[in-house]
A and B are shown apart, each in its own frame.
Chain A
Amino acid sequence: MSNVQIMTGNQAAAIGVKLSNVQVISAYPITPQTSLTEAISQFVEGGELKAEYIRVESEHSVLAVCISASAVGARVFTSTSSHGLLYMHEQLHWAAGSRLPIVMCCVNRGVGAPWSIFNDQQDSVAQRDTGWIQIYCRNNQEIIDTLIQAYRIAEAVYVPVMVCYDGFVLSHTMMPVEVPDADLVKDFLPPYKPHMILSPEDPRNINPVIFPWRRQDPEGVLRDGYMELRYKLQKATEGARDIIVATNRAYTEVFGRDHGGMLWTYRADDAEVILTAMGSLASEATVAADMLREREIKAGVVGIRVFRPFPKEEVREVFGNRCAIFVFEKDISYGYEGALCSDLKAAFYGTGSRAPIHNYIVGLGGRDVKARELAEATLSSLEAIASGTTEPETTWLNCDTYLPGSEVRGQGLGDRRQEEKCRINYSRSIKKNICCRGTGPARGVASP
Chain B
Amino acid sequence: MLPGNRSCQGCGLSLAYRYLLKALRGNTILTIPASCLTVLHGLYPTTSVAIPCLNCTFPSTAASASGLVAGLNALNRTDITVVAVAGDGGTYDIGIQALSGAAERETDFIFVCYDNEAYMNTGTQRSSATPMGALTTTTPILTKQQKKKDMLKIMDAHDLPYLASASSAFPLDLYNKFVRAKRIKGTRYIQISAPCPPGWIYPPKDTVKIGRLSVETGIVVLFEIEDGKFRFTGRSKTLAEKGSRLPIINYLERQGRFRKMSIEQLTQLQKWVDLRWNEYLRRAA
Contact = CB atoms under 8 A, between A and B. Distances in A.
Contacts of A203: 49-53
Interface residues of B, number: 46
A199 to B, nearest CB: 6
Given A54-B67, A61-B62, A65-B66, 14 more contacts: A24-B67, A56-B66, A56-B98, A57-B104, A60-B60, A61-B97, A61-B98, A64-B60, A198-B29, A199-B29, A203-B49, A203-B52, A209-B39, A223-B45
A99 to B, nearest CB: 13
A154 to B, nearest CB: 16
Interface string A48-67: 00011011111011111111
A205 B54 CA distance: 6
Contacts of A345: none
B139 interface: no
A74 interface: yes
A198 B52 contact: yes
A100 to B, nearest CB: 11
A273 B74 CA distance: 52
Given A65-B66, A198-B54, A217 B74 contact: no
A404 interface: no
A205 B77 CA distance: 20
A60 B67 CA distance: 12
B98 A58 contact: yes
Nearest to B67: A68
A192 to B, nearest CB: 10
A208 interface: yes
Contacts of A207: 54-56
A52 B74 contact: yes
Nearest to B62: A61
Contacts of A204: 52-53
Contact of B74 (A23, A206, A210): A23
B43 interface: yes
A64 B56 contact: yes
A448 interface: no
Given A23-B74, A51-B74, A57-B100, A71 B47 contact: no
A54 B98 CA distance: 13
Nearest to A219: B45
A424 interface: no
Contacts of B62: 61
The 10 closest A-B pairs by CB, nearest first: A68-B67, A57-B101, A69-B71, A61-B63, A64-B60, A64-B63, A65-B67, A72-B71, A23-B74, A207-B55
Contacts of B278: none
Interface string A2-45: 00000000000000000000011010000000000000000000
Interface of A: 23-24, 26, 51-52, 54-58, 60-74, 76, 90-91, 94, 198-200, 202-211, 215-218, 223
A205 B55 contact: yes
Nearest to A70: B71
A389 B104 CA distance: 64
Interface string B188-202: 000000000000000
A210 B43 contact: yes
Contact of B71 (A56, A68, A211): A68
Interface in B93-149: 97-98, 100-101, 104-105
B222 interface: no
Contact of B75 (A23, A57, A64, A91): A23
Specify which of B70, B71, B74, B104 lies most central, judged by the most chain A CB atoms within 10 Å of its CB: B71
B10 interface: no
A83 to B, nearest CB: 16
Specify which of A60, A203, A205 lies most central, judged by the most chain B CB atoms within 10 Å of its CB: A205
B65 to A, nearest CB: 7
Contacts of B60: 60-61, 63-64, 91
B64 A200 contact: no
B80 interface: yes
B244 interface: no
Contacts of A211: 43-44
A206 B54 contact: yes
Contact of B67 (A57, A64, A200, A218): A64
9 contacts: A23-B74, A57-B104, A65-B67, A94-B57, A200-B26, A200-B51, A203-B49, A205-B42, A217-B45
B41 interface: yes
Contacts of A200: 26-29, 51-52, 80
Nearest to B28: A200
A198 to B, nearest CB: 5
B167 to A, nearest CB: 27
Contacts of B239: none
A41 to B, nearest CB: 15
Specify which of A65, A66, A70, A91 lies most central, judged by the most chain B CB atoms within 10 Å of its CB: A65
A60 to B, nearest CB: 6
A209 B54 contact: no
Contact of B42 (A62, A63, A90, A208): A208
A61 B33 CA distance: 13
